[in-house]
Structure 1
Amino acid sequence: MLPSFRVANHRSIREETELSLVATELNEHTARETGASAEGRPVSALPTVGIYGANASGKSNVLHALRFMHSAVPDSFADRSRKAGIPREPFALAAEAQEETSFFEVDLLLGKDRVRYTYGFEPSDERVEAEWLHAYPSGRRQIWFDREADRPDDEGGEFRFPGTGLKGQKDLIVTSTRPEALFLTVGATLDNPSLAAVHRWFVDNLWPVTSGGDVPHRTEWTRGKLTDRKSGAALRERIGALPAAADLGIAGLTLDPESGEVQLLHRTADGPPQALDFWNQESPGTHAWFAFLGPLFHVLDKGGVLLVDELDSSLHPILAAEVIRLFQDHEANPRPAQLIFTTHDATLLGPSVADRPLDRDQVRIALKNATGESQLSPITAARKARRDDNRERRCLHGHYGGIPRLTSGEIARQIALIEEGLRATA
């Protein structure tokens, strides 16, 4: 489970920004107990958080930063065939930011006992300047390792192991860790059992879904899962039921007896359901919906975090609301898995269409200031949010921020002035 994520100096995010999934006292019914506590109080986590904001406000960059960690930890910047250094993206609108490190850190609750871990690293263009892993097996912090590169000629950095929490051979991991590699990844590769659980979370429990570009890949991955001999039948039943319930005109799905290809069955007016050619006859909306279902059910089955950029680009508001409710339903999501998504869809705040599937503390607003820096804040911080607020209307009217600063018809007026000027000079 992911209670929080922090990032700085990545794309439009200049200063440290936190995405917290810890429930607040304003949560009404969606939070899940974690078994963990802070300052003597139980900690509950949110199964779903939605990030709103204007175009280019930086909301997608929050998810991009998590995806950066998702790829960095398994790969550890280890592809020697590519250009040397670390392919990070520091804040581009301040020259000094290019010389500063970027910052990525997660808090995790892992295992049956929900042990808390804090893991993070700070890369520069050339190497990992700092890295750390702290554990809280009995509620008190244990520093498993701290790494810091103090000098330009300091190859792998200085490693400290101040306690006895990190078990296993350490010297071999230290000598095997190159400047651009992560100690966590090297340790897990060398079968250190203490590091394996945290490393495995990045490998198995972060599932990014982008807006459109990866639909073919996700479609083929989903179709492969559906044809799996062990689990395919149950998944076919579940995936076939959802489009039928969503009123997409689909009665279910089947496997072609000759090719083994997955086919969606469409209702007909006066006969049995008919299969259509998936790529040539199904709509782009059906492609997007189908490609979404594989990762969705995988995360619900196995646990983890589903990262969805622009949830509204592939799902109707009513379908998007049902996906949110899946994650918030205790029986449908017993692990529990978590959903973090970006959207412009104010109807998910209710009550006009989607009947308000999100609690007050599940909504974040991405804002960009005058110098191009993105910040992230809950709507409860932007303005006091009462339980009976029409949050959909307040969002659209800009009470929480995160909307374009335009007066009605302003773009049309500006274009008309440009066209008038062009005609005058023709």
Structure 2
Amino acid sequence: MIFRLEIENFYSIGPVLTIDLHARAGVDDASVAPIYPGSEERAPKLVAVFGPNASGKTTFLRAIAFLVWFARDSFQLIPGQHLPFALFQSRDWLGKPARLAIEIGGMPRFPPSAHGDVGSGVYRYELQIARRRNSDAVVQENLFFRPHRARKRFRVFERTEKEGVKGSRFFPLRGLGKLAETLRPDVSVLSTYAQFGHKVALALQQALRTVFSNLLIFKEDPSPDRIAGQFRQSKELLDACNREARRLDLGFNEIRLAEGPLFFQFRHDGLEDFLPWQWESHGTQSFLRWFPLIWWTLRTGGCALIDELDASIHPDVLKEILRWFRHPERNPKNGQLFFTCQNTALLEELQKEEIVLCEKDASGFTKVFPLADVKNVRRGENFFRAYHRGSYGALPNIG
């Protein structure tokens, strides 16, 4: 479970922002869950991001998506190609590195013979990247782990531009030969070492595959053929989608997958034949785009990052999706959903721990802050009314 993020010099974020999603002591209802099995610390299963247009909502999700992509997949990047991120576009910031860090609660991924039983705990991944004229370079990359109830974290690996990679008994480097010489300056330790069969790197890379996102640089709307491919890979996914579509009254009774250019066919009451994807409403298409990400997240206990989840989807359907994440039977592994949203009516459906706000200051810097950090906000108040009164900020300045 993701519960803390630090961002500096990344897109519209300049000075370092620390977003801590810990729930306060005593909060223990369906909206929050332990950050890892057995932990007393809790964080929200839903994180809804609100704010004016161009305030930095997508940037907040991009930071998580980029960190996960870099750690997991950056080895696939074409050598010499710039990494998919941007610095804050001012003279004072373009010469500085981007700095990101994330803290995630989870299971240990280390071979038992290497450490004994340390139990679940918290991973902290840190990254600094310098943007240079012809290429990007990692200035620093670190991974730490704090076991359950431990006060101090231990080093899994550390990497600096000058000294290279330092492993540990949890991340052994023996027997890897000249792998250090293979490590490109713009690629992560985990994604590189996983290519060469490093067991811990492979285990961590596999764990990160439970983070699903619809954006990296830009929001990505999956094409119908790609969505059809996801449904073809899992009959259980297709059956679940058909079941939910009927229950949510999305207007069709059954999806049938076809070969050729008409990937989807939809059965409707009173019609003799199936209808193609192109004839379905934008709302139906949007639901089908995000349902696989949501379903896999609920199944795996992972995390879904969805930009503009509310686009074209009926508010009552959105409310039902939120309920899935709070329901212990629908979400037994405490999967998380981070999403940006313009539909402020959803504020009435959320607890304060589930709400993150974005706004820009006079210098153009994005500020990101959990509503729980705003003083004197009671847990049961009407967040919709208070937000539109301007009590929290993060409103468009129309005048």
TM class by shorter chain equals 0.7 to 0.9
- Alignment of 1:389 with 2:381, yes or no, is yes
Report the CA distance shift for 1:256/1:77 in structure 2 as closer, same or farther (over 3 A).
closer
Name the residue aligned to 1:184. Answer: 190
SS at match of 2:204: helix
- Alignment of 1:367 with 2:359, yes or no, is yes
Report the CA distance shift for 1:18/1:264 in structure 2 as closer, same or farther (over 3 A).
farther
Report the CA distance shift for 1:257/1:214 in structure 2 as closer, same or farther (over 3 A).
closer
Q: Is the 8 A contact 1:147 1:158 kept in 2?
A: yes
Report the CA distance shift for 1:89/1:35 in structure 2 as closer, same or farther (over 3 A).
closer
Name the residue aligned to 1:287. Answer: 285
Name the residue aligned to 1:412. Answer: none
Specify the code of the residue in structure 1 equivalent to 2:227: T
Report the CA distance shift for 1:264/1:19 in structure 2 as closer, same or farther (over 3 A).
farther
SS at match of 2:69: helix
Q: Is the 8 A contact 2:23 2:353 kept in 1?
A: yes
Question: What CA distance in whole angstroms lies between the structure 2 residues aligned with 1:59 and 1:35?
Answer: 26
1:240 Cα offset (Å) = 0.9
SS at match of 2:185: coil
Unpaired segments ≥5 residues, structure 1: 351-355, 408-426
RMSD: 2.7
1:274 Cα offset (Å) = 4.8
SS at match of 2:157: strand
1:373 Cα offset (Å) = 0.5
Q: How many residues align?
A: 380
Mapping for residues 31-70 of structure 1, pairs under 5 Å: 31-35=32-36, 42-70=40-68
1:158-217 Cα deviation digits (max 9, x unpaired): 4334x5332352664323212222222222222222222322233x12211259963343
Name the residue aligned to 2:86. Answer: 89
- Which moved further from structure 2: 301-310 or 27-36? 27-36
Question: What CA distance in whole angstroms lies between the structure 1 residues aligned with 2:227 and 2:245?
Answer: 14
1:331-373 Cα deviation digits (max 9, x unpaired): 00112211001112111111xxxxx2x2111111112111011
Question: What CA distance in whole angstroms lies between the structure 1 residues aligned with 2:362 and 2:105?
Answer: 37
**Equivalent of 1:174 in 180, 185, 198:** 180
Question: What CA distance in whole angstroms lies between the structure 2 residues aligned with 1:312 and 1:132?
Answer: 36
Question: What CA distance in whole angstroms lies between the structure 1 residues aligned with 2:272 and 2:96?
Answer: 60
Report the CA distance shift for 1:261/1:224 in structure 2 as closer, same or farther (over 3 A).
same
Question: What CA distance in whole angstroms lies between the structure 1 residues aligned with 2:206 and 2:285?
Answer: 30
Report the CA distance shift for 1:168/1:257 in structure 2 as closer, same or farther (over 3 A).
closer
Mapping for residues 10-409 of structure 1, pairs under 5 Å: 10-25=10-25, 27=27, 29=29, 30-35=31-36, 42-76=40-74, 79-80=77-78, 83=81, 85-92=82-89, 94-111=90-107, 113-125=119-131, 126-137=136-147, 139=150, 140-149=152-161, 154=162, 157-161=163-167, 163-169=168-174, 172-202=178-208, 204-209=209-214, 214-217=220-223, 219-228=224-233, 231-232=234-235, 234-255=236-257, 261-268=263-270, 274-279=273-278, 281-350=279-348, 356=349, 358-407=350-399
Larger RCO of the pair (alpha carbons < 8 Å, separation 6+): 2
Question: What CA distance in whole angstroms lies between the structure 2 residues aligned with 1:394 and 1:117?
Answer: 36
Q: Is the 8 A contact 1:77 1:86 kept in 2?
A: no
Specify the code of the residue in structure 2 equivalent to 1:146: E
Q: Is the 8 A contact 1:9 1:101 kept in 2?
A: yes
Question: What CA distance in whole angstroms lies between the structure 2 residues aligned with 1:35 and 1:335?
Answer: 10
Name the residue aligned to 1:420. Answer: none
Name the residue aligned to 1:9. Answer: 9
Q: What percent of counterpart residues are identical?
A: 23
Structure with the greater alpha carbon radius of gyration: 1
Report the CA distance shift for 1:215/1:180 in structure 2 as closer, same or farther (over 3 A).
closer
Report the CA distance shift for 1:172/1:389 in structure 2 as closer, same or farther (over 3 A).
same
Question: What CA distance in whole angstroms lies between the structure 1 residues aligned with 2:124 and 2:260?
Answer: 51
Moved over 6 A (4+): 257-260
Report the CA distance shift for 1:259/1:59 in structure 2 as closer, same or farther (over 3 A).
closer
Report the CA distance shift for 1:273/1:235 in structure 2 as closer, same or farther (over 3 A).
farther
Q: Is the 8 A contact 1:267 1:274 kept in 2?
A: no
Q: Is the 8 A contact 1:86 1:123 kept in 2?
A: no
1:261 Cα offset (Å) = 4.4
Q: Is the 8 A contact 1:122 1:131 kept in 2?
A: yes
Question: What CA distance in whole angstroms lies between the structure 2 residues aligned with 1:378 and 1:213?
Answer: 23
Q: Is the 8 A contact 1:383 1:399 kept in 2?
A: no
SS at match of 1:311: coil
1:51 Cα offset (Å) = 0.9
**TM-score with structure 2 length normalisation?**
0.86
Question: What CA distance in whole angstroms lies between the structure 1 residues aligned with 2:125 and 2:179?
Answer: 17
1:273 Cα offset (Å) = 7.1
**TM-score with structure 1 length normalisation?**
0.81
Question: What CA distance in whole angstroms lies between the structure 2 residues aligned with 1:273 and 1:241?
Answer: 21
